[in-house]
Each structure stands twice: as C-alpha cells, then as structure tokens.
Chains A and B, each alone.
Chain A
Amino acid sequence: MSEKILTVDRLTMRFGGIVAVNELSFAAERRQITALIGPNGAGKTTVFNCITGFYKPTSGAIRLVHDDGAVFALERLGDFRISKQAKVARTFQNIRLFPGMTALENLMVAQHNALMRASGLTFLGLIGAPSWREAERRAIDLATVWLKRVGLLDRADEAAGNLPYGDQRRLEIARAMCTEPALLCLDEPAAGLNARESGALSDLLLAIRSDCGTSVLLIEHDMSVVMEISDHVVVMDYGVKIAEGTPQHVRDDPKVIAAYLGADEEEAIAVMESGS
C-alpha cells in the first residue's frame, strides 16, 4: 500500500491563453495534513477544482489511492463520481451550504449515496421498510455526531443560511465529513474567522486527522493555522511549485518569502512572524 494518498503529476490547466497551473507535481501523504499555500492568484483553487472534478485538466495525472489499494484517476473521473467513488470531499472558498435547509438536513444530503442504497433506490423507503428506517436512524446518528464535534448540536434544526459565518464554515466541514471521505479538501477554511474561531478550527482539523484517519489537503492564507497543523506544505506562485517541505523548512525558504513579499507585503510579514 502506498503511503501517498494523492499524487499530482505534471498537472497543467489552461484557460484560453492563460496558464493557471503549469506542470505542477506534488503528493499528499496518507493521514497527514498537506497545505497548499501561495499568494493570491497563484492557482491554488484551480488545482482544487481539478482534483475535485470541477475542471478537466489540460494535461497531467491525478492519482488517488485508497487504504485498500484501489486506485482512481481523478483527472478522468468526472464530477460527482469523485465524491461518490473516489471519496474525495471538499468545501468551498465562498461557503456553499444549502441555505434553506436545516443544519441537520445539510448533513443528511451529504449521506445521499449511502441512503439511496439503503432506501432501495427510493422504493423501499416509499413503503417504509424497516431496513430503511434503520438506515435513516443511523444517518441521523452520524449527523448528530458531527454536529456535536463542530459544536452545532443545539442549532441542528436551524436553517443553515441563518447561522453565523463561523458556524457555517464548520457546518460545511461537517457536511463534507458526512460523506465519509478518504481525502478532505478544504478551500480556505479559516477565511473570515477570528483568532478564537481559527484556533478551534485547527483543533477540529487535527482531530479529524487523528480520529477519523482522513487525509486533509488544505488551501489557506491564515499562516498561523498552516504552521500549526500542517505536516507538509506546498508553495505555489504563478501556477508553479516554488517550494515544498515541512512548515519550518518552507518558512525559511527565501523563494517563498520573496514570492510573498513580491505579491503582498502583509502576507510576507505574516509568514515571517508566525515562525518567531
């Protein structure tokens, strides 16, 4: 069994004449947290969209290997199958919950495929078969477990669109976890959170790694979060990888500092300060 859960090999994504990602290669270790960082416009979200099937890469390969050795070529596996078969879950930079449904309903939708099987493609469910009722109860239990873990149990019956911003971020992570993923991809989960909230987020992500055995791939601008929880950091700029290694290693890399300084002074300072 490979220790690498995800291998990205010379991934290239072009939009018309613009090369958003150019021959990018990196790997994510199993049961580790890998962070993808870089200045704005470096192509991080594009990489995410390629991994999760929202974009078809121009060229390159993306391999995902499950614990049981099953291999998936994500660049060929389109759309919903990446979540359904390859078990890759994701969150979005600008939260995409189902705002008119309750927090609990959001987590039930996430278990769609498992529940669909249990409901005998709806027919068993329609007649209210006991096996379906049992499956539904288990699904509610799983949702309850995750609501508890993200601290939203008491808001389970509220509309997701009514929750405060920080709660929505955590609910989106809980929803992704309810698909029982092998790889969890988080697109800027700490964006817009205050210091206390992003601290709680770090704890949640560490717990997900240690308790669930889920590998995590994350894009993040909040360097305190990245430095605190990442096992491995990949730095991108202008669509190419400029550095990779442990948080310590990356932080001291002059190329990384230059990239951040060149792009955005504040971020560069944040990188340097978070280490000291």
Chain B
Amino acid sequence: MDYFAQQLINGLVLGSIYGLIAIGYTMVYGIVGMINFAHGDIFMIGGFIALISFLVLVSFGLTAVPLILLIVLLVAMAITALYGWTVERIAYRPLRHSFRLAPMLSAIGMSFILTNFSQVAQGARVKPVPPIITGGYTLHEGASGFNVQLSNIQIIVVATTVVLLALFTWLVSRTRLGRDMRACEQDQTMAALLGVDVDRTISFTFVIGAALAAVAGMMYLLYYGLVDFFMGFVAGIKAFTAAVLGGIGSLPGAMLGGLLIGLIETFWSAYFSVEYKDVAAFSILIVVLIFLPTGLLGRPEVEKV
C-alpha cells in the first residue's frame, strides 16, 4: 500500500509535466487543426534556457533560491514563447490554408531544426545539474522500512502546474484573448469577419503553448536534474499521446491524458517492467482509441451526410 501511494505521487508529478506539454499540442490543434511536431523540441529548448539562465544567475552570485527560480521561470517562459512565435511565423503561417500534410511535414522539418540547433549550439552531451531543491516530507513510515516520501520538488511541480492551469483556464474562459481563441477555433473566417485578428490570435496560441512547455521544461530540469538535446522527441510523443488520449482539442482532456500517461508509465515501471513502460502507454492509447475514437473527453465527430 505504501509502495502504491509512493508510485501514485511519482506518477502525478510526471503526469503534470506531460500535461503541461500536452496543453500546447491540444491548443494548437484546436485552433489550426495541425499537429505541431516541433512542440516537443520547444519543451527541450525551454529546459535548456532554464538551465543556462540558472547557471548564469548563480555565477552572478545570487543565492536566494526562490528568487532564482522565479527569474529562471520568467526568462524561460519569455524566450521559449518567442521560439514558439518564430516557429509559427516561419514554418506554419505560410501554409495556413494549404492542404493538411504540408504543415505537418514542415513541422517535422522544424523539429529537426530545433533538435539539431541545440545539439550544435550546446553540444550533444547530457547536461547534469546538481539538485537545486532538496528536502521533503515523509508522509508515512512503513512497517517494513519503506517510507512514503513527498519531496519539495514534487510539491513545487504540482503546485506550479495547478497555479498555471488556473491562470490559463481563466485566460481562455474569461479574457478577450481567450474568447478570440475560442472563436477562431470554431470558424476562422467568421471570426475574422467579426473583427478578430486571426493571425494575432494564432500567434498568441503558439506563444502560450510554448510558455507552458517552457514551464514543463524547467520542471523536468528540476525534477530529473538533467537536459539533453534529444529529450524533446520522447517527451513530445508522450505528451502528444496524452493529448490524443484525452481527446485532442479539449484542454481538460490534455491534462487528464497527461496525468493518465504519467500514472500508467510509473505504475507499469513499478509493478511490471521499466523497459516496457512506453509500450504500455502506447498500447493503452491504441486500446482507448478503439473504443473511443475521439479520446476520453473529445467531442465525437458527427458525420454529416
């Protein structure tokens, strides 16, 4: 039981990271109907920028950890958001009304560019960082010597996710920008006729998605203590799987999918085999889609005849 509780905590933390990335996929899909294959690499870039800004800040002699973390978070979000904006501007906007596969291929190309860019710019080797946040709580001392631990970093990951989700939900449901986004999602032409600046709204979608991915990248860095240029691919596929599992286009679905993928992976590693955790996650995706072809919370596609 203790072991189970510990895995539940670990799974939720991992799921929060996936969920943050998945939101970026689902938002972009909702508004422009394309898979942003470069999104996983945006997450990776976010991790790198967090790492570099952290190093620089520490070398400046800053010692207050909360302040450092706050600055790193803001810098990572801002710069990564600009990456998201640039990617949209260069690779997707010219193909906005083109046929479906062209932007997808251009996105795959963009993903290659970003992966290779950070490999060239920062080297191919894994970048480890010493644990920045240490300590935690022992929730339960098991009789057999197994303790259920909740580390501070886990608390921070989940808390940041919850706060950002709240902020983000408010943004989408209450603000003018959010309303524009939802309008563009329904009908871009009509939205444009009603005075919504479609280009700007789509740009904002990419910016927000990238900022959330940057947060996920930073959390990944804090939690696992390393980044490398290739981490975007696997995390991206997992997060995309999460978005589809939850029903692509649905924001709560993305979060739910992220949590589920995180839990599946963690529990599978804990109880069956670490090697096959990804196989388990992908298999469950396939099984879910057989029965719910549009994911858990996706709107069923109505066939107009």
Direct A–B contact in complex, judged by CB atoms less than 8 Å apart: yes
Chain A interface (Cβ < 8 Å from any Cβ of B): 45, 49, 54, 92
Q: List 5 A-B contacts (CB under 8 A).
A: A45-B305, A49-B305, A54-B303, A54-B305, A92-B305
Distance in angstroms between the alpha carbons of A49 and B303 in the assembled complex: 11
The interface residues of chain B, by DSSP majority, are classed as loop
Q: What are the residues of chain B within 8 A of A92 when measuring CB–CB? A: 305
Q: What are the residues of chain B within 8 A of A49 when measuring CB–CB? A: 305
User: How many B residues touch A, CB cutoff 8 Å?
Assistant: 2
Distance in angstroms between the alpha carbons of A49 and B304 in the assembled complex: 10
Q: What are the residues of chain A within 8 A of B303 when measuring CB–CB? A: 54
Q: What are the residues of chain B within 8 A of A45 when measuring CB–CB? A: 305
* A229: min CB distance to chain B, Å: 24
Distance in angstroms between the alpha carbons of A56 and B291 in the assembled complex: 18
The residue on B at minimum CB distance from A187 is B305
Distance in angstroms between the alpha carbons of A49 and B305 in the assembled complex: 8
* B303: min CB distance to chain A, Å: 8
The residue on B at minimum CB distance from A15 is B302
* B70: min CB distance to chain A, Å: 49
Distance in angstroms between the alpha carbons of A54 and B302 in the assembled complex: 12
Distance in angstroms between the alpha carbons of A92 and B303 in the assembled complex: 13
Distance in angstroms between the alpha carbons of A54 and B305 in the assembled complex: 8
Query: Which residues 254-305 in B have Cβ within 8 Å of A in the complex?
Result: 303, 305
- Please list the 5 inter-chain residue pairs (A to B) with the smallest Cβ-Cβ separation, ordered nearest first: A54-B305, A49-B305, A92-B305, A54-B303, A45-B305
Distance in angstroms between the alpha carbons of A54 and B303 in the assembled complex: 9
The residue on B at minimum CB distance from A93 is B305
The residue on B at minimum CB distance from A96 is B305
Distance in angstroms between the alpha carbons of A23 and B303 in the assembled complex: 24
Q: What are the residues of chain B within 8 A of A54 when measuring CB–CB? A: 303, 305
Interface string of B4-46 (1 = CB under 8 A from A): 0000000000000000000000000000000000000000000
Distance in angstroms between the alpha carbons of A205 and B303 in the assembled complex: 29
Q: What are the residues of chain A within 8 A of B305 when measuring CB–CB? A: 45, 49, 54, 92
Distance in angstroms between the alpha carbons of A92 and B305 in the assembled complex: 7
* A52: min CB distance to chain B, Å: 8
Distance in angstroms between the alpha carbons of A45 and B305 in the assembled complex: 9
* B26: min CB distance to chain A, Å: 26
Distance in angstroms between the alpha carbons of A66 and B148 in the assembled complex: 72
Distance in angstroms between the alpha carbons of A45 and B303 in the assembled complex: 13
The residue on A at minimum CB distance from B303 is A54
